[in-house]
Amino acid sequence: MKRYPTAIIIVFLFLIAHAGYGQDQDISKAENNRGSIVISFSPSLGYVSKGADLDNLNDEGHFVPGIGLDIFYQFHPKWEIGTMIDYDLAHYVIPRKNDLERDGAFIISAMTTYSINDNWNLSAGVGLELERHENVGLLRFGIGYVINLHNNWFIPIDNTLDIKPDYEAWSMAVGIGKSF
């Protein structure tokens, strides 16, 4: 059962790699959106390998559903700066000497995104996970795929890694967004 989350991640990455195959390539995000505000909303599913259910601390790994709002400013055809705001919809614990309980964590991060081409992008940033038991800092890295639609609408598909002092969390999200 421990390999099940790894299989989900592998399948998801495979789907991301092939999501845009055959998409209309004449819609250029970089050409049309320089100097624009980019907003997206995405439900997500995260996985915390060191997380455990409150009822079974011997369990390894915990899935964490969440929702996210991303707001970016595209100041160059290939570069954006902005913030990613996420809310985790789960209650779990990170077993350690003094267990770290996580309940409805609110994560805010300052990010920089580089567009490799019209569809693929890389992101990196720093943030803070605010939670009533203990706040922690984090580093966030991500890779994303964007399916460009008409009228500046798009579908973002993101895979992010949050590195925190006592654990890491992977998150996968698919949402809807618009450039203004």
Averaged pLDDT, 109-118: 96
- Six token digits for residue 1: 């059962």
Query: Does 178 have pLDDT greater than 50?
Result: yes
pTM above threshold 0.95: no
Question: Contacts by 63-67 with C-beta closer than 8 Å and gap 24+?
Answer: 63/5, 63/90, 64/88, 64/89, 64/90, 64/92, 64/169, 64/171, 65/89, 65/90, 66/90, 66/171, 67/41, 67/42, 67/43
In this predicted structure, what is the pLDDT of residue 22?
Answer: 46
| CA diameter of the chain | 55
* Fold topology of 4-179: Porin (2.40.160)
Query: Does 139 have pLDDT greater than 90?
Result: yes
Banded pLDDT at 7 (limits 50, 70, 90): low
Averaged pLDDT, 145-155: 96
- Six token digits for residue 5: 């989350």
Query: Does 23 have pLDDT greater than 50?
Result: no
CA dist 153 and 180 (Å) reads: 9
* Domain extents in the chain: 4-179
What are 25-37's pLDDT values in tens digits?
A: 444 544 555 679 9
